[in-house]
Structure 1
Amino acid sequence: MGACASSSRASSVPPSLEEKKTFKWMIDGFSSLLDKGDVWTYSSVFEIMGIKWYLKVNPKDKKNGEEYVSLRLELSNPSLKIDTVVNAYFKFLIYDQSYGKHSEHQVTHKFQTASSSSGTLCMIPLSTLKSSPGFIFNNSCVFGVEFIKVVAAKVKDTSETLFVQKINAFTEVKAFTWDIEDFFALKSPSYSPEFELGGHKWFLSIYPTGYDKNGNYLSLYLHMKTQNIPNQNSAELVDYCIGIKNQETGKHRKEAGRCQFSKNVDNWGFNKFMSLEDFKDSSNGYLVKTKCCIEAEVTIVGTSKMV
């Protein structure tokens, strides 16, 4: 019995159904383009992988006193929605028409449709192109772009709306005073008793040798008890002021801020509120024997909601 040899046939896709991945752009009369100088020339819009693009070339782009041939790939924005990001992996190509040794420059770029400049650049020294007869052949030059992978996705934005309250100039600013009887007995950190201002509960913290433990500064912070904040996406805009009283002259040392307090960030303050040298200098009146007085002023000036 004769042996029957198995056979297989490679499946083929009709040329009309093959997905285009490369755009080739021949410029005939390239010397005339060079004569026009530092000017961008645009290709026609082409579609590859479901997205419309165009190439730009500047034959005499300048950088640091040198001349370059610059290629730029850009999205044709009208082809996409404004909230789209296109991640593309591709190659810029400059064809060697004599020897087939093309110049390739691989690029990964995120194209933003909302950006006024959504492209990416490839720069080749003009001298390099002129030195090889294959790149400029019979006064023509061939550029291209080969796409390897393209993924379009909707932008996932986070937005916040901040509602700022109208502040009455005659509103009385309320404050809390924390009397520390023995500064040298403090641990790092130490916390004040809780107090209530503006409908929220707060407390202060002090790092007697600095938050970063470098021993040169006093660090002070204001903390909000966040149980009254409804969810992770809400916040309170707060004007706050933390001060250390001068117990002799009344000229207190103060630092102020306007920040949002939320469940995610429930404290703000000052890493380097005051140098320990100034704080401990008895002539300044901030530390009298072992006692110091810290004051906090708190005013709610707005709310925010993030979606």
Structure 2
Amino acid sequence: MSEDPLYIRILEKLGVNTTRLKWKLYQKERKVQDIARTGIRPKGLQWLSYPHKICSHCHAINDKEARECSSCNRRLPNMLIYKISRLLTSAASGESPVIIQGFLGLMLLFFAIEISFGGFSMENIMMPDNYGLQVLGAFTTHIFQGPFQWFRWTAFGLLHGGLIHIGFNGYALYQIGPIIESQIGRARMLVLITVSQLGAALACYLWYFEINKINTLVIGASGWVFGLLGFGIILFHRMGIPSIRNQLSFWAVFMLGFGFMVGGISNAAHIGGMLGGMLIAILPAGGNVRMPGIDKAWAIIALFSILLWSVTIVFMFVSLSFNP
């Protein structure tokens, strides 16, 4: 990628994070290069003007007025419903960052539940009641109070200590999450988040409860956000995109430094999550026809990740029901 344009350098001087902007610029350059190489321009939504329907079952081409598929005799929708359904399918295609969107949704859901403990006042929105956080799964010494407290190892990555906290983590995810998910796919993205979260939890457990014997409360998605940063640094270094790699590196160093200077920030979670993300980055990525087992392994681990997060969420609601 060539030197950053002047407007990006100006934005960076003003302190604006331009990671997402640089990625879009990089993608635009790639599209221009692909067009120059192949002479083929992307068609976008050109299919909307096509005078036919494609059967969703057998993929046969049918006339736009057809009510049944000429190949499999399945019923076809009218043209308006057909176009709407295709648009919705396109929106939910592999290019959509479903994993990041899902986790952002969970973060917002549990933030709303946190606030409900103390009422929807501005004071409570800015700093929710600690009792609600402990009930929902904050990482505390509660993990030693029985086998059913294990869900806290993952649950605290969905909880936040106020509007600024969730706003910052949400912004970070918006900046880097879709970029990484578009490159590695949903299965690896889910595994990346899970391993980063577990790395953050393990680091907190060792640092706070084993080494320093501190009874503290840890919450926030920043542990696995740092996992995305660590993964992204290695990913974009390998892809030969130093501008994004350097941006992520600067962001990671800045936030770690900020965490050392300001109280109430868990650098243990940040470092643990980052190491977890880097671990995933150095593992074989898959997509090699000579090693099909790697893709299957990622899919299996992703299924375990889905199970882990699903059970975690169930336990969060169970804990909520026992501690209204």
TM bracket, shorter-chain basis: under 0.3
- Structure number with greater Rg is 1
| TM-score (norm. length: structure 1) | 0.21
Higher share of residues assigned helix = 2
TM-score of the superposition, structure 2-length normalised?
A: 0.20
